[in-house]
Structure 1
Amino acid sequence: MLDQETKGALAQYLERLAGPIELVTAFDDSERARQLAELVQEIVVAGGGKVTVREAVGEEVAGGRRPAFAVTRPGEAPRVHFAGLPLGHEFGSLILALLQVSGYPPKVEPDVIEQIKSLDSPLHFEVYVSLSCHNCPEVVQSVNTMAALNPNVQAVMIDGASFPAEVEAKQIMAVPTVYLNGELFGQGRMELPEILAKVDTQAEARDRARLAQKGEFDILIVGGGPAGAAAAIYAARKGLRTGIVAERFGGQVMDTLAIENFISVKETEGPKLVAGLEEHVKAYDVDIMNHQRAVRLDVPAEAGKTAKVALANGAELSAKAVILATGARWRELGVPGEKEYRGRGVAYCPHCDGPLFKGKKVAVIGGGNSGVEAAIDLAGIVEHVTLIEFADALRADAVLQRKLRSLPNVTIVTNAQTTEILGDGAKVNALRYRDRATGEEHTVELAGVFVQIGLVPNTDWLEGAVARNRFGEIEIDARCTTSAPGVFAAGDCTTVPYKQIIIAMGEGAKAALSAFDYLIRLAPAQ
């Protein structure tokens, strides 16, 4: 099942087992069960005597799903379950589960560990994943950590490809999809503090009280993407009291896979780049307030006065200078059916959700680099891809266009306006578009629509605070200065041309230097 190099790495990891663990197996006669049995035996060998195996009794593993196995301590009821093969992106989730169930401490802040242990209600998580999804492991590992630390928590990873009938019955068309105690809990990437905030009813009040004690920052950065991270590093290096408040550290880069134009790094992936950003920021004295959503900015009436940022939980932060680096999100089509069928055939991440459409027909909306790359990726999975572009020609790089046109199961439609996404009430079954040259309407029968039409800035919450253009971008000058005194902005949320990671980083650095220059020019009494 595993190659020799992976077996060697597994053995090295399992040397860290803090105590004995037991694998509880529930197999059937399928080929996948044979593969899973082989994987289990390889874990036993790599465990060097600390790993044992027994067969499941009744439905104690994964709610009776087969093939599956659970990781537990000898003599304890299983709480961490894997239904299907935890390989691909989920192999890391498996290794962490083996270690944490054995008693190896998770890399989680002590207050988070205490919060997990204090949960006193039964929580049964079921996480539906695809093994190619780079967002799924974050969720799987989070609920596994909760289950390893608290006997009230059960965590089941379910590989959708291993249980297609179950996925079809629940109309799951986006991953990760999480059920809690039998009810839909959420879809998409979620980090451990986000999950805890939803299940711990006292979390918001504790957060609000903690943030109220922060005091005034010299520079407060709103946004934790490349621009925000760069600004934090530059500000902290100047000796300023620096805070960074982010809804999700890393921002949209966390959802990006291949990055091949970051100068000096030939190729990398978004989550890997974000991990490096976070490590760099933490090397300085920066107060990182993650998983906090800003809802209002109160700008000072004149230079030298305090700015205030209100958060969704009711807390308020103050600073002498503010840098806005809130980035952007996927632009929506804005057509009938899009919102109604989001997660039920309408998707925005081909890497995550593409495997759920294996053997089916899909459409990709957008002929830029993102859209063409999505169509190329999907063509290797699905039966057929229809790429629809509003303009009269594709806008993607020539090399991508050549690759796309070489694929036999791709149809390219240009000069076409998507007018409606159709469905049967449960899931998508067609898309309608209008030929912009002739006005003729066309309907394409399909199972999924992947929207790849660019970005929209995350600036709605700034209404009335700073000047924005008709696209919602914050208007800045060459020094990242906004219309409000002491407020600066950087990255994809601004009018700076070319939305690129490397440009956002440079703009973040520039904004921090401009904010520093602003602060040192204030009157000494202020």
Structure 2
Amino acid sequence: MLDTNLKAQLQAYLGKLQRPIRLIASLDGGAKSQELRGLLEDIASLSDMVTLDDSGSDARKPSFVIAREGETSGVRFAAIPLGHEFTSLVLALLWTGGHPPKVESEVLEQIKALDGEHRFEVYMSLSCHNCPDVVQAAALMAIYNPKVQTVVIDGGLFQEEVSQRQVMAVPMVFQNGELFGSGRMTLEEIVGKLDANAGDRDAAKLNAKDAFDVLVVGGGPAGAAAAVYAARKGIRVGVAAERFGGQTNDTMAIENYISVLETDGPKFAAALEAQVRHYEVDIMNLQRADHIIPAEEPGGLVQVQMANGGVLKARSVILSTGARWRNVNVPGEQEYKNKGVAYCPHCDGPLFKGKRVAVIGGGNSGVEAAIDLAGVVSHVTLIEFADALKADAVLVSKLKSLPNVDIHVNAQTTEITGADGKVNGLGYKDRVTGADHHVALEGVFVQIGLVPNTEFLKGTVELSRFGEIVVDAKGHTNVPGVFAAGDCTTVPYKQIVIAAGEGSKAALSAFDYLIRQPVVAAGSTAEAEVA
């Protein structure tokens, strides 16, 4: 089942087990059950600390539980966890076997203290790069708290169940039979939703922090670069980020970042965070800014009010809040989001295997999505508002060569229709003839660009008509002591490499601002720089 290299790697990991574990399999006579049996036999053959028991009787077949020796409960995989989920499998084996997770001790204590019964069902697909974070979080909770049960379900393996529960986007998590959340979620986010007092504790911690010399709001490539450049000046730097890594977490492949031949988004995001932590920057994750209060006098403190009620103070602030997928804003989009309306073809494409889908958008992202989906679904309809596709010529040529793709330009999407709680079609108007059309399908992928995350700045910082923060060549905003960088600004071309460069520039500008201001915050490390 596993090739020689994977076996060697896995055997090395299993050498870290501190206590025996059991793999309790529930199998039938099907081909997938035999495939799973082969995987589990391979795992058991690599360590004397692992035994295989095929006497399981779970209703989902094939599936297996990873349990401590002498126990019958643990993390259940209703899946053959290879692909993106192979790491999740390895971690579940190690954690069950007593190897400590790389998790903050405070978060681990939060997990252990969770009260009440929590039955989690995590639906994922093996090609989803956003799913492992959620799978691993739910698995860890089940391993460290006996009141938590977790089953990880491969949507592609249990298509009938996925259809019955109307799972049309992954990852999707149910708690005690009710929808808990969908999309990428970190362990801290999940635990925070379960821990009713987490918000108040977080706010109190933020309020207790001393003023920063530079506070970066946002943790994408621009924010990470700004933090590194500022910290290297020897000043006190903090990063408040809703999700460290930003959009890169949702990017499948990165092949145009100079000096990095190829990587994927989650790895890139992890590398960003690792480098920022290397410089001992105070990272405050899962923190969303609500509004800012400019300094009352030159060199004074800017205040950033967070959504949980906490307030952070700083002598200078760099806004790098990034952007998010733009909605098409037609009837049916919000109603059927995650019920046929999706935004990530890599994540959710496998759920539409053999079905009909549409892609809205004819730029690079839209055409790439259509090409990707054409290899999975039965038919793709691409809808483009303009009179021609805007993607690179090589991509357009590839798309037009595919036999199961229809392209409609000069087409204005007017509605997304549905029935029984899920998408059943898309309406569009021919902008030349004015004729209305309706396409019957099961899924719609929206790929029409980005909108900046700047709503909280209205009335404080100057924004363009597109909602972007207006900056000059050095990253200054119209508010003294407040700078901005990355996809949330008026700087053209929303690219990772450009965002990183702009973040670095904003940090240098912020430092230049600091050394030219009177020292106000006593004890600030920037005071020593001025001296």
What range is the shorter-chain TM-score in?
over 0.9
Where do 5+ consecutive residues of structure 2 fail to align?
522-531
2:204 aligned with 1:205: no
Q: How does 1:92-241 map to 2 (within 5 A)?
A: 92-241=87-236
Cα distance, 1:58 vs. partner?
Answer: 4.4
Cα distance, 1:524 vs. partner?
Answer: 4.1
Cα distance, 1:525 vs. partner?
Answer: 5.5
Where do 5+ consecutive residues of structure 1 fail to align?
none
Aligned equivalent of 2:438: 443
Range 448-457 or range 255-264, more displaced: 255-264
CA contact (8 A) 2:25 2:56 kept: no
Q: How does 1:61-80 map to 2 (within 5 A)?
A: 64-80=59-75
Give SS of 2:40's match. Answer: helix
Gap change, CA 1:316 and 1:28, over 3 Å in 2: same
Give SS of 1:76's match. Answer: coil
- Give the letter for the 1:443 counterpart: H
How far apart, in 2, do the equivalents of 1:525 and 1:230 lie? 26
- How big is each residue's C-alpha offset from its partner over 1:163-207, in whole Å with a ceiling of 9 and x where there is no partner? 111100001100001001111100000000000001111211221
How far apart, in 1, do the equivalents of 2:358 and 2:70 lie? 51
Aligned equivalent of 1:317: 312
Q: How does 1:241-280 map to 2 (within 5 A)?
A: 241-280=236-275
CA contact (8 A) 1:130 1:159 kept: yes
How far apart, in 1, do the equivalents of 2:489 and 2:32 lie? 50
How far apart, in 2, do the equivalents of 1:103 and 1:354 lie? 36
CA contact (8 A) 2:471 2:490 kept: yes
- How big is each residue's C-alpha offset from its partner over 1:425-480, in whole Å with a ceiling of 9 and x where there is no partner? 41000100011111111111100000000000000011111000110000000010
- Give the letter for the 1:215 counterpart: D
Cα distance, 1:276 vs. partner?
Answer: 1.0
How far apart, in 2, do the equivalents of 1:320 and 1:434 lie? 52
Gap change, CA 1:41 and 1:58, over 3 Å in 2: closer
How far apart, in 2, do the equivalents of 1:518 and 1:405 lie? 53
How far apart, in 2, do the equivalents of 1:240 and 1:269 lie? 32
CA contact (8 A) 1:79 1:153 kept: no
How far apart, in 2, do the equivalents of 1:88 and 1:414 lie? 36
Cα distance, 1:3 vs. partner?
Answer: 1.5
CA contact (8 A) 1:32 1:84 kept: no
Aligned equivalent of 2:21: 21
Aligned equivalent of 2:528: none
The structure 1 segments of at least 4 consecutive aligned residues displaced by more than 6 Å after TM superposition are none
How far apart, in 2, do the equivalents of 1:277 and 1:18 lie? 32
- How big is each residue's C-alpha offset from its partner over 1:285-320, in whole Å with a ceiling of 9 and x where there is no partner? 200000111111111244212111111111110111
Aligned equivalent of 1:33: 33
Aligned equivalent of 1:388: 383
2:52 aligned with 1:53: yes
Select which of 459, 464, 467 maps to 2:454: 459
Select which of 329, 332, 341 maps to 2:327: 332
Give SS of 1:492's match. Answer: coil
Give SS of 2:123's match. Answer: strand
- Give the letter for the 2:340 counterpart: G
2:374 aligned with 1:379: yes
- How big is each residue's C-alpha offset from its partner over 1:94-148, in whole Å with a ceiling of 9 and x where there is no partner? 0000000001000001111111111122111110011100001100000111111
- Give the letter for the 2:46 counterpart: A
Gap change, CA 1:514 and 1:27, over 3 Å in 2: same
CA contact (8 A) 2:355 2:378 kept: yes
How far apart, in 2, do the equivalents of 1:416 and 1:205 lie? 49
How far apart, in 1, do the equivalents of 2:162 and 2:71 lie? 30
CA contact (8 A) 1:21 1:50 kept: yes
Give SS of 1:318's match. Answer: strand
How far apart, in 1, do the equivalents of 2:317 and 2:94 lie? 42
Select which of 344, 352, 355 maps to 2:339: 344
CA contact (8 A) 1:296 1:462 kept: yes
Aligned equivalent of 1:360: 355
How far apart, in 2, do the equivalents of 1:210 and 1:318 lie? 13
CA contact (8 A) 1:68 1:83 kept: yes
- Give the letter for the 1:10 counterpart: L
Aligned equivalent of 1:11: 11
Gap change, CA 1:9 and 1:173, over 3 Å in 2: same
2:403 aligned with 1:404: no
Give SS of 2:243's match. Answer: coil
- How big is each residue's C-alpha offset from its partner over 1:70-96, in whole Å with a ceiling of 9 and x where there is no partner? 001111231200002111111110000
How far apart, in 2, do the equivalents of 1:337 and 1:425 lie? 13
How far apart, in 2, do the equivalents of 1:525 and 1:381 lie? 60
How many pairs does the alignment contain? 521
- How big is each residue's C-alpha offset from its partner over 1:217-239, in whole Å with a ceiling of 9 and x where there is no partner? 11100000000000000010011
The two structures have a TM-score, normalised by structure 1, of 0.98
Q: What do you get for the CA RMSD once the two structures are aligned?
A: 1.0
Give SS of 2:487's match. Answer: helix
- How big is each residue's C-alpha offset from its partner over 1:17-66, in whole Å with a ceiling of 9 and x where there is no partner? 1111011111111110000011110010112x11112234544xxxx311
The two structures have a TM-score, normalised by structure 2, of 0.97
CA contact (8 A) 1:309 1:318 kept: yes
How far apart, in 2, do the equivalents of 1:56 and 1:308 lie? 60
How far apart, in 2, do the equivalents of 1:525 and 1:124 lie? 52
How far apart, in 2, do the equivalents of 1:29 and 1:211 lie? 56
Q: How does 1:272-291 map to 2 (within 5 A)?
A: 272-291=267-286
How far apart, in 2, do the equivalents of 1:525 and 1:122 lie? 51
CA contact (8 A) 2:68 2:74 kept: no
Give SS of 1:402's match. Answer: helix
